[in-house]
Structure 1
Amino acid sequence: MSKITFLGAGSTIFAKNVLGDCMLTPSIQGFEFALYDIDYKRLKESESMLQNLKESLGSDVKVKAYTDRKEALKGASYVVNAIQVGGYKPSTVIDFDIPKKYGLRQTIADTVGIGGIFRSLRTIPVMLDFAKDIEEVCPDALFLNYTNPMSTLTGAMLRYTNVKTVGLCHSVQVAVPELFEALNMSDDGVKWKISGINHMAWLLEVSKDGKDLYPEIKRRAREKQQEKHSDMVRFELMDKFGYYVTESSEHNAEYHPYFIKSQYPELIDRFNIPLDEYPRRCVEQIENWEKMRDEVVHSKNLSHERSHEYASYIIDAIETDKPFRLHGNVLNTGGLISNLPEKAVVEVPCLVDRNGVTPCHVGELPEQLAALNRTNINTQLMTIQAAMSGKREHIYQAAMLDPHTSSELSMDDIVSLCDDLIEAHGPWLPNFKSENMLV
């Protein structure tokens, strides 16, 4: 029996989306869905939900929850990773509250920035533990990573383990439809080309019937900027750098040094930037889950429609040898994007078939876009080095290289902030000892 192992299966709604998609995929019938999570209560809730969904969809997969991770992984063909180390409390709260004491504000803090750095440092050691088990009990498995920070985690797996890994996000799939909807344009028949890095990939070309649509897109975007809306940062970046970026404005506001600035507080209102958005979103999700838990977990009539998440399409393409195209996060080996570093993780078109996931060569990005990508790649590479070395000085350097952090704080304040975050996270960062501090 083929097997899909889901790590972090206590994420019940996401497990429903990914594994519900798989239940609707003919080539995946008969598979075992092995569920694993360190939270036993959430694990059993997801098992109950998936058993009910299996019955209502008429799927013949086997759903089984495991409390032993190695047993859950044993013999798996595919491993889906959707963990969050440290959770909302205490770790996410720490990632926001301590920087705020230094005057450093954030919106999402899950990719780069000071929050992204520390989320990476908490998560990479756990992922490397996963890799040891995978190398032992399912060495041929394909690891489908959905966990953020996407670039650092995927990079650590690809550079320091033998696990076949691809990072998956849905920002590319939704970028063009959301842009066209915002500008009251139809995306029917539109062709587009996107490449870059995760959460900062670029709409390089967009056309219909051979006509370049960028002039009309930019005209409408400039008009829309005259009134407040939820995507003002992305439209401003497109105006100044010439291209639309895939991830949302609340994300991109903290990837660059231009928008969240204590000396220019008026920019927050001007660009409608939602500070502390992720903690607020976490609270809302927790409250909503409490209201809907019984309905989702115990419903005998649970339904599902196939989502735009890539996992089921990847598995289907490998199982059937029917090619599927996606945008995956992979190492820039051989210069897939020739003006970005080879150690970087890039988000590029990939072809999936029985041979697995094969990235496509892109070539050069426009130089201004590659430059913006490199500012985030610098921090990503230094963060991976910090995780692997266990040296505080590498954490400091990662933070000093971050565009937003370095534009707001002095070097001394960055060192002090990192020390405070290490102390506050305590057991979540076991690799960083006091003797590794700069003196």
Structure 2
Amino acid sequence: MPKITFLGAGSTIFAKNVLGDCMLTPSLQDFEFALYDIDHQRLKESEQMLNNLKQSYGSTVSIHAYTDRKEALRNAKYVVNAIQVGGYKPSTVIDFEIPKRYGLRQTIADTVGVGGIFRALRTIPVMLDFAKDIEEVCPDALFLNYTNPMASLTGAMLRATNVKTVGLCHSVQAAVPDLFKELELDEEGVQWNIAGINHMAWLLEVSKDGKDLYPEIKRRARLKQQEKHSDMVRYELMNRFGYYVTESSEHNAEYHPYFIKKQYPELVDRFNIPLDEYPRRCVEQIEHWEKMKHDVIHNENLTHERTHEYASYLIEAIETDQPFRLHGNVLNTGGLISNLPEKAVVEVPCLVDHNGVTPCRVGELPPQLAALNRTNVNTQLLTVEAALTGKREHIYHAAMLDPHTAAELSMDDIISLCDDLIEAHGSWLPSFEKEKAFTV
């Protein structure tokens, strides 16, 4: 029986999306869904939820919850990773509150910035432990990484292990539909091309019947900027740099040095930037889950519609040899994007069939877009370097090169902030010895 192992299965709603999608895919019937989570209560809840779905649809998949990770992985053909190391408390709270003492404000803090750096540093060691088990008990498995920070985590897996890994995100497939809906444009028949890095990939071309739609998109976007809305940062980036970016404005506000600034506090209001959005969202999601979990866990008529998450389509394409095109996060080996570093993880079109995931070469990005990408790639590469070498100095380097952090803090304050974060996270992080040369 082929096996899909879901690591972090206690994330019940996301498990419902990904494994519910798989359950509704005809070619994936008779698979085993192996669930693993360190929170055994949440694991049990997800198992019950999936059994409800199985009963509702008469599926022939089998569902097993494991408390032994290696047994959950044994003989898996696909491994889905959706873990969050440290959770909302204590780790997410630490990632926001300590930088705030230095005057450094964030919105999401899961990709770059000091929040993204420390999320990566506490997650990479766990994923490398996963890799050891995978290499032992399912060495041919394909590892589908959904956990952020996508580029740093996927890069660590691809560079430091033998595990076949691709990073999957939903920002690309949502970008054009969301943009067209907001601008009241008809999406039917539109062709588009996107490439870049995760959360900062670019809509390079968008056309219909051979006609470039960018002039009309930009015209409508400029009109929309006259009143406040939820996507003002992305529209401003498109206005200044010429292209639309895939991830939301609350994310992109903290990827660049232009929007969240102590020196210009009015920018936060002007661009409608939701500071501290992620902690607020975490609290809302926790409260929402507590209200709805009884109906999800105990509803024997539970329903599900296939989502736009890539995992089920990817697995279906491999199993049926019916090609599917997606945007995956892969190493930039051979210069898939020729003006980004080879060690970078890039988000590019990939063809999936029985042979697996084959990335497509994009060539050069427009120079201003590659330059913006490189500012984030610098931090990602140094974060991976810190995780793989255990050198604290590379944590400092990563933070000092982060665009938003560097625009707000002195080098002395950045180093002090990193030291405070290391101390606060405690056992959630591996040991990073302090270099004498960086003692402040």
TM over 0.5: yes
- Is 1:96 the counterpart of 2:96? The answer is yes
1:298 deviates by 1.1
- 1:369 & 1:311 partners in 2: Cα distance? 28
The amino acid across from 1:113 in the alignment is G
2:403 counterpart of 1:414: no
Deviation of 1:435 (Å): 6.4
Counterpart AA for 1:206: V
Matched, 1:350 2:376: no
- In structure 2, the residue matched to 1:305 is 305
Q: Which residue of 1 aligns with 2:371?
A: 371
2:159 is the counterpart of 1:127: no
TM-score (norm 1): 0.99
Number of residue equivalences: 439
Q: Is the 1:393–1:436 contact (alpha carbons within 8 Å) kept by the matching residues of 2?
A: no
Report the alpha carbon displacement of residue 437 of structure 1 after superposing the two structures with TM: 7.7
TM-score normalised per structure 2: 0.99
Equivalent residue for 1:212?
212
> Is 2:389 aligned against 1:389?
yes
Does residue 1:137 correspond to 2:100, yes or no? no
Give 1:63's aligned amino acid.
Answer: I
Once the 2 structures are TM-superposed, how far is the Cα of residue 394 of structure 1 from its aligned partner?
A: 0.7
What does residue 20 of structure 1 align with? Answer: 20
Deviations 1:115-148 (A, max 9, x none): 0000000000000000000000000000000000
Q: Is the 8 A contact 2:81 2:147 kept in 1?
A: yes
1:202 is paired with a residue whose SS is strand
Counterpart position of 2:328: 328
> Partner letter of residue 94 of structure 2?
I
Provide the residue aligned with 1:188 in structure 2.
Answer: 188
Partner of 2:77: 77
Find the counterpart in structure 2 of residue 224 from structure 1.
Answer: 224
What is the CA-CA distance between 1:405 and the residue it aligns to? 0.1
Does the residue aligned with 2:291 lie in a helix, a strand or coil? helix
Contact 1:6 1:81 in 2 (8 A): yes
Partner SS state of residue 65, structure 1: strand
Could you report, residue by residue, the CA deviation over 1:327-385 in whole angstroms, capped at 9, with x for unpaired residues? 00000000000000000000000000010000000000000000000000000000000
Deviation of 1:436 (Å): 7.3
Shift of 1:432: 1.6
Kindly indicate whether the alpha-carbon contact (under 8 Å) linking 2:392 and 2:435 is maintained by their aligned counterparts in 1: no
Q: Distance in 2 between matches of 1:166 and 1:437?
A: 37
Q: What amino acid sits opposite 1:23 in the alignment?
A: M
Q: CA deviation at 1:438?
A: 2.6
TM-superposed deviation, 1:274: 0.2
Deviation string, structure 1 residues 28-84 (Cα, Å, up to 9, x no partner): 100100000000000000001001111101100000000000000000000000000
Provide the rounded CA distance (Å) in 2 between the counterparts of 1:186 and 1:277: 31
Distance 1:433 1:109 in 2: 24
Contact 1:230 1:249 (8 Å CA) reproduced: yes
The one-letter amino acid paired with 1:210 is: G
CA distance in 2, matches of 1:431, 1:303: 46
- Secondary structure of the equivalent of 2:44? helix
Q: Indicate the SS of the match to 1:275.
A: coil
CA-to-aligned-CA distance 1:79-131 (integer Å, 9 cap, x gap):
00000000000000000000000000000000000100000000000000000
Q: Shift of residue 431 of structure 1?
A: 2.4
Measured in 2, the distance between the counterparts of 1:228 and 1:67 equals 49
Looking at structure 2, the residues matched to 207 and 99 of structure 1 have their Cα atoms a distance apart, in angstroms, of: 43
Alignment correspondent of 1:58? 58
Q: Secondary structure at the match of 1:307?
A: coil
Deviation per CA, 1:401-429: give whole Å up to 9, x if none.
Answer: 00000000000000000000000000001
Runs of 4+ residues deviating >6 angstroms:
none
Distance 2:288 2:44 in 1: 19
Q: Which amino acid aligns with 1:265?
A: P
The letter for the 1-side match of 2:208 is: K
Q: Describe how 1:416-435 pairs up with structure 2 within 5 A.
A: 416-434=416-434
Residue 404 of structure 1 is matched in structure 2 by 404
Q: Name 2:247's counterpart in structure 1.
A: 247
CA contact under 8 A between 1:391 and 1:437: conserved in structure 2? no
In structure 1, C-alpha distance between the alignment counterparts of 2:58 and 2:209, rounded to whole Å: 42
Q: 1:437 to 1:427 in 2, by over 3 A?
A: farther
Report the Cα distance in structure 1 between the residues aligned to 2:124 and 2:295, rounded to whole angstroms: 35
Match of 1:270 in 2: 270
Per the alignment, residue 3 of structure 1 pairs with 3
Partner of 2:438: 438
Structure 1 residue identity aligned to 2:223: E
- Name the SS of the counterpart of 2:27 in structure 1: helix
Aligned equivalents of 1:3 and 1:437: distance in 2? 50
Secondary structure in structure 2 of the residue aligned to 1:207: strand
- Contact in 1 for aligned 2:393/2:434 (Cα 8 Å): no
CA distance in 2 between counterparts of 1:315 and 1:341 reads 29
Q: Distance in 1 between matches of 2:309 and 2:437?
A: 42
Q: Does 1:151 align with 2:144?
A: no
Q: CA deviation at 1:392?
A: 1.0
Task: Tell me, in whole angstroms, the C-alpha distance in 2 between the residues paired with 1:49 and 1:156.
Answer: 33
**Alignment match, 1:45:** 45
Aligned to 1:86: 86
Structure 2: distance between partners of 1:348 and 1:340: 12
Give the aligned residue type for 1:270.
R
Q: CA separation in 2, counterparts of 1:219 and 1:435?
A: 53
Deviation at 1:433, TM superposition (A): 3.5
**3-state DSSP class of the match of 2:75?**
coil
Q: Secondary structure at the match of 1:79?
A: strand
Is the 1:21–1:312 Cα contact (8 Å) retained in structure 2?
yes
